[in-house]
């Protein structure tokens, strides 16, 4: 029997289990989640500001189009005024009056355009600030991703070492005993074998009843015995 050697295998298996759990619970995972949540929050806020800018920009464009129409109309009225085709004094006065109205209208709309441009400036500054914050989040996330990759690589190297050591340790254990150990390990949370320390099972940390302990103690060394409390294989001193 090679029960003592199987305890070595169990030690390697427990180490591998801990490392695999550690690999899936690295703090970098939470840091990445935090980065993603922060980015989503910033993107939502930025979208709201960007929509405000679009509203202002559309209004500015509408006024600029109005100015373009007025300019075109003034050009045409000026062309009529100085073309010589209109000679009646009354008609010439009407054109000049129209040009004055158009000029005033153009000036008023251009003032509105300037106001809108001034309103857009701080909004652009807000957007630039959000872009800087998003760039910072992206930079921090990239660093966390690299840290995660490094941490996982280090753990993978440890797992590889433990796996090689396990393979060497288990090579001298009877196949039937390995099968029994693997069954117990699968059923009992990863620990299939434990030492019996005096009357206490180190797997479940419960003390065997006197009658059970006496029965286990009297079994020959070639008999595989199980803890009556947790069913793990027991290694007797």
User: What pLDDT, in 10s, does the model give residues 169-227?
Assistant: 999 999 999 999 999 999 999 999 999 998 999 999 999 999 999 998 888 877 899 99
The predicted pLDDT at position 234 comes to 95
**In the chain, what's the furthest Cα-to-Cα distance?**
135
**pLDDT classification of 1: cutoffs 50, 70, 90:** low
Average pLDDT for residues 89-101, to the nearest whole number? 90
The predicted pLDDT at position 80 comes to 84
What's the pTM?
0.78
Which residues have C-beta within 8 Å of that of residue 174, sequence separation ≥ 6? 1, 2
What distance in Å separates the CA atoms of residue 125 and residue 131, rounded to the nearest whole number?
Answer: 10
The predicted pLDDT at position 122 comes to 97
What distance in Å separates the CA atoms of residue 97 and residue 95, rounded to the nearest whole number?
Answer: 5
Q: Which of 43-47, 145-149, 178-182, 211-215 shows the lowest per-residue confidence on average (mean pLDDT)? A: 211-215
Domain ranges of the chain: 25-168, 175-236
Please check whether the domain covering 25-168 is classified as CATH 3.10.450.50: no
């Amino acid at each position: 029997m090679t029960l003592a050697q199987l305890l070595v295998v169990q030690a390697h298996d427990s180490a591998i289990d801990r490392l695999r759990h550690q690999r899936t619970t690295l703090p970098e995972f939470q840091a990445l989640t935090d980065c993603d949540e922060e980015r989503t929050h910033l993107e939502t806020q930025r979208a709201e500001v960007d929509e405000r800018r679009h509203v202002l920009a559309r209004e500015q464009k509408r006024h600029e189009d109005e100015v373009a129409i007025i300019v075109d109309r003034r050009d045409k009225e000026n062309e009529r005024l100085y073309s010589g085709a209109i000679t009646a004094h009354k008609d010439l006065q009407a054109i000049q009056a129209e040009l004055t109205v158009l000029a005033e209208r153009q000036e008023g709309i251009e003032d509105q355009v300037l106001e809108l441009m001034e309103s857009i400036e701080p909004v652009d500054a807000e957007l630039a600030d959000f872009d800087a914050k998003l760039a910072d989040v992206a930079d921090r996330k990239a660093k966390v991703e690299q840290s995660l990759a490094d941490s996982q690589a280090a753990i993978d190297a440890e797992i590889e070492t433990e796996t090689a050591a396990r393979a060497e340790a288990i090579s001298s254990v009877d196949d039937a005993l390995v099968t029994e150990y693997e069954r117990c390990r699968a059923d009992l949370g990863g620990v299939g074998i434990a030492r019996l320390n005096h009357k206490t099972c180190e797997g479940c940390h419960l003390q065997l009843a006197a009658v059970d302990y006496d029965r286990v103690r009297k079994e020959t060394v070639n008999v595989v015995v199980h803890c009556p409390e947790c069913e793990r294989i027991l290694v007797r001193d």
